[in-house]
Amino acid sequence: MQLSFLNENKEADSGSVAIASHLTPWLVLDNSFLTQPDAHSLMERLIDELPWQQPEVIVFGQSHKIPRLQAWQSDPGVVYQYSGKVLEPEPWHPDVLKIKQRVEQASGKRFNSVLINYYRCGGDKMGWHADNEPELGANPTVAAVSLGGRRDIQFKSKQYPKAVNVALGSGSLLIMKAGMQRHFQHQIPARLREAQARISLTFRHVLPTC
């Protein structure tokens, strides 16, 4: 089946909505980056076809499985540690590669890897963090495409410690621009009344380690 996103070429800021003013220098949100049918069929395909993993992380000395599933795809030889784990790279899924090319057009940045997060239900989540691993360089751009159930991403900083929500609907593209990861942390909080599954594709550029 051909997906229509293969032929689309839209501006990054079309379909954008208001974002809290202290966040606007750091974020671009396009709510209609993918059409709803394309987002839906891509999600179904990724759920079926990706080798999902649920690695364990150590929190306060105890080992826990992460509260979501994930997959990591990259150009050959790209090594990335996330939450202290070296991620096992998979080759690009052909549809993900096409999305990457569109995200590159929209953002003007190049990406060599993607962390794909699968929140199976509202209880799946990701805690406060910044995507500031040394291998992303000093000022990384991270771009996230959302599929499926609408979930909030929250941001906070030393200067703005109260968490601010940005809603991420299916087919949206959120670009966290250079500097964001130095100033703000973000999380995907649990939403226990939200039953719908969600996938995010978070594109990154990992620098060579030596």
Q: Find the shortest distance in angstroms from Cβ 191 to Fe ion.
A: 17
- Coil, strand or helix: which one is 83? coil
Using CB under 6 A, pick the residue from 93, 102, 186, 205 that binds ligand AKG.
Answer: 186
Cβ closest to ligand AKG, residue 5 vs residue 119 = 119
Helix (H) or strand (E) holding 50, with range, is none
Strands, E assignment, the chain: 27-30, 56-59, 62-65, 69-74, 81-82, 85-86, 113-119, 126-129, 142-148, 151-157, 164-168, 173-176, 184-188, 198-204
Q: And the tokens for 144? A: 């996230």
Q: Widest CA span of the chain, in angstroms?
A: 49
* Number of separate helices (H) and strands (E) present in the chain: 3, 14
Q: Find the shortest distance in angstroms from Cβ 70 to ligand AKG.
A: 8
Using CB under 6 A, pick the residue from 39, 103, 153, 206 that binds ligand AKG.
Answer: 153
Site size with ligand AKG, rule: CB under 6 A: 12
Question: Minimal CB distance to Fe ion: which residue?
Answer: 131
| Residue 116 near residue 199 (C-beta atoms within 8 A) | yes
Q: Find the shortest distance in angstroms from Cβ 1 to ligand AKG.
A: 26
Question: Does position 188 bind ligand AKG by CB under 6 A?
Answer: yes
Q: Find the shortest distance in angstroms from Cβ 143 to Fe ion.
A: 11
- C-beta atoms surrounding 175 within 10 Å: 23
Map the footprint of ligand AKG across residues 105-124, applying CB under 6 A. 115, 117
Q: Find the shortest distance in angstroms from Cβ 6 to Fe ion.
A: 27
Cβ closest to ligand AKG, residue 34 vs residue 188 = 188
Could you give the CA distance from residue 29 to residue 12 in angstroms, rounded to a whole number?
Answer: 8
Q: Which of ligand AKG, Fe ion, none does residue 115 bind to, with CB < 5 to 8 Å depending on kind?
A: ligand AKG
Residues that bind ligand AKG (CB under 6 A): 115, 117, 126, 131, 144, 146, 153, 168, 186, 188, 200, 202
